Amino acid sequence: MTEDKEEQENELLALTSIYDDSVISVAQDAEGSGGQFLACLHLPENFRVAVLKDPKNSTCVNEIPAKDFCEVSYLPPITLNFQLPAGYPSTSPPQFTLSCKWLNRKQLSRLCEKLDEIWIENEGCVIVFMWSSFLQEESFDFLGLQNPLVITSAHISKKESDVDHRAIQDIGSFDRLLPAIRDYDKNCKQQEFDKSLFTCKVCFCEKSGSQCIIFLDCSHVYCKDCMRDYFTVQIQEGNVKALLCPDDKCESQAHPCQVKDLVTNELFTKYDKLLLQTSLDTMVDVMYCPRPSCQYPVLMEKDGNMGSCPACHYVFCVLCKLCYHGLSPCKIKAEGLKNLRDEYLKADSATKQYLERRYGKQAIQLAVEESYSNEWLAEYSKSCPGCGAHIQKIDGCNKMTCMKCRSYFCWICNQELSRNNPYKHYNDPNSSCQNRLFEGIDPNDDEFDEDWFD
């Protein structure tokens, strides 16, 4: 038993030495050691993927319109969650599950069988590294995948019943698959950009992508030091519309979030105010300055909640009429906005005109929308037990992943789930959520594909 424990510790130490923490995470709990491995497949160049639901004609690549394909460099990983029992590796294999967004359960079942075969061939030896290498390097060819890849909801026949219980389809609705693939590809490309080297066209120094910014419209890259100096000078001179790409004849504008990341808080406040004032000059919606001694007509930002009086320079929130507080919630956000909404909706024509003159039509509309949003969140969303972020369950299984802190939790009981084996919660006979992973999914819903979960 001592030798098994030592071999387990050495194996996990070796894995964490080979892969960084974005690929593997290990943990120790009451049941022993375990972890999670994200197997990112190596795709061919110019890899294209199409996600088709119930194709009317053939799935032959030549018969699929080019617009249905998107080119990606990365696909969401195959997730191996494993638990090392006390008798591993001398007598027992690791307990595991395989989950993936774009592989169906039949394909995942084949991979589970292959991992079992690898254990049988190497019984008594540490096996997690062999499993992870196979999933990362060989699973693409093992499953017979090709470029371009066509994924359809008909990949699993209705007669298929031989799916492995360890194979988990980790996306609830087939309609969510393509957006998930695109989002993952975008995030991976950003990480790759941060690790790459670029030559700044201003100072001609070579720096890593993490030290550079890329103008989104033209893809020109410059180092942050040069752009910080450039943005600072322009903002100090009040030229907030002149934060353009330095390349000759290029008119690409820097995004406000890029400006915020580079300049001081004081400069960004000035930039934000000047940019807003410039925008207000082009808008027609009017409300009056909340200061009783001023009441000067103020042009409002069309989609914003900040007003700046050009007469008395009072910068205020158009919803609560207090000093502008940025992204912080209004002090009267919950009750005050609801009262304003109710007062306006119940008012007669004359009272409505008075309220519109006092607050502005845009402010009234924002108050109504904000109040309904708060009521909707209270009724249809739940808070992540890890960070408290509001999360809505649109479709899919009851194993939820918080996009803010990446923790797993159960939608039914709101319990935080193990990262090593989040699906154990739904198989535990002592759990009130046993066999309730897919509870609440309507099989008659158009977005529910029965074949996709079989």
- Do 44 and 147 contact (CB within 8 A), yes or no? yes
Which one of 100, 289, 317, 397 is the catalytic residue?
397
Is 397 tagged catalytic? yes
Enzyme catalytic residues: 397
